[in-house]
Amino acid sequence: MNCYNGEKYIREAVDSVINQTYENWELIFWDNQSSDSSAKLFLEYDDCRLKYFYAQKHTELGDARVEAMSKAKGSWVGILDVDDIWCKEKLEYQVDIINKSLNDGVELGLVYGKVLEINERGVEVGELSHINYKNKILPNGMILKELLLKGNFIMSPSILFSMNAFKQIGGFPIGYLNASDYYISCAISSIYRVGVVNKYVAKYREHQNNLTLNQKVIAFEEQLMIFNKWVKYVDVDDLQKIKRIRELNVMIAFMEMKYKNNYIRGVKLILLNGSFLLAIKIVIKYLFSKYRAMS
């Protein structure tokens, strides 16, 4: 759990770990030099499974995760940001899948599940999911091709990954601001089978201070970097590669226009590196999904 000035939600996040029906865990709490009462609130807990660490310097979230991981001792690791929540049976569901797979002679590298979106007040909004998998069964097995061609459908608070697999891929990539979780999912999926819990295992809180609201452009730029790095490990033809690269460039363009008001750069990206027709198709698909959600 990485924390930077998370006093508003810290108790809900920590309590959701303490209340897990599966009890054999440790919580690495990485204080990224908070200036509020986060440390005080965390240290009020009297539970030997809670481990507090104070960062020597403030870093971006991706690099903070690199530092925090060096303190973890468990054989499996989950990620829970200080404003998110785990459902109480999350770890139990995932450990059951891990053990059942081992009994079948299959070593998994990662297990994930469905995630609910909540607002600032904790009110459930609906399923948080990639548009291609909303209200659908999530895939398992060797899923790297789907992750690369369809986008990141593994939501961060649902992840539980093997420490052995994590070490095998070289850990978190240094320098990634927003998409280090997607990198990990793709890297592990390039080697290991992935398990899934088709139930809600976590809640993601959407609010105005989310990194994902302020840095959408960077998120898609990093997704493009990840695609180019891992696509060589799957059977994808040139047309599929070109289509996905154009899709990601179109999304970068949309984010440039929406969050930076940079319409000239956005249009140039669509025309030079993306596809005008693809941009229209994505807009129509998005509007249709919003209409279906409201109806």
Q: What is the CATH number of the domain that holds 156?
A: 3.90.550.10
Q: What is the DSSP string of the chain?
A: -EESS-TTTHHHHHHHHHT-S-----EEEEE-S--SSHHHHHHT---TTEEEEE-SS---HHHHHHHHHTT--SSEEE---TT-EE-TTHHHHHHHHHHHHHHTT--EEEEEEEEEEE-TT--EEEEE--TTTTTSPPP-BS-HHHHHHH---S-GGG-EEEHHHHHHTTSSPTT-SS-HHHHHHHHHHTTSEEEEEEEEEEEEE--TT-HHHH-HHHHHHHHHHHHHHHGGGS---HHHHHHHHHHHHHHHHHHHHHHH--HHHHHHHHHHTS-HHHHHHHHHHHHHHHHHHH-
Residue 224 lies in a domain: no
pLDDT at residue 272, rounded to an integer: 87
Domain count, the chain: 2
73 and 182 co-located in one domain: yes
8 and 93 co-located in one domain: yes
Choosing from 147, 181, 214, the residue where a domain stops is 214
pLDDT at residue 209, rounded to an integer: 58
Domain with 139 in it: 2-214
* % residues pLDDT > 90 (the chain): 62
249 and 143 co-located in one domain: no
pLDDT at residue 213, rounded to an integer: 47
Residue 69 lies in a domain: yes
266 and 121 co-located in one domain: no
**Average pLDDT per run of 10 along the chain, which is 295 residues long?**
94 98 97 95 97 91 84 94 96 98 96 94 89 89 95 94 95 82 95 97 80 66 92 91 90 83 85 85 74 67
53 and 177 co-located in one domain: yes
174 and 32 co-located in one domain: yes
102 and 186 co-located in one domain: yes
264 and 134 co-located in one domain: no
150 and 93 co-located in one domain: yes
Choosing from 163, 183, 214, the residue where a domain stops is 214
**Residues 173-219: tens digit of each pLDDT:** 877 878 888 999 999 999 999 999 999 999 999 876 555 445 667 88
Residue 73 lies in a domain: yes
74 and 175 co-located in one domain: yes
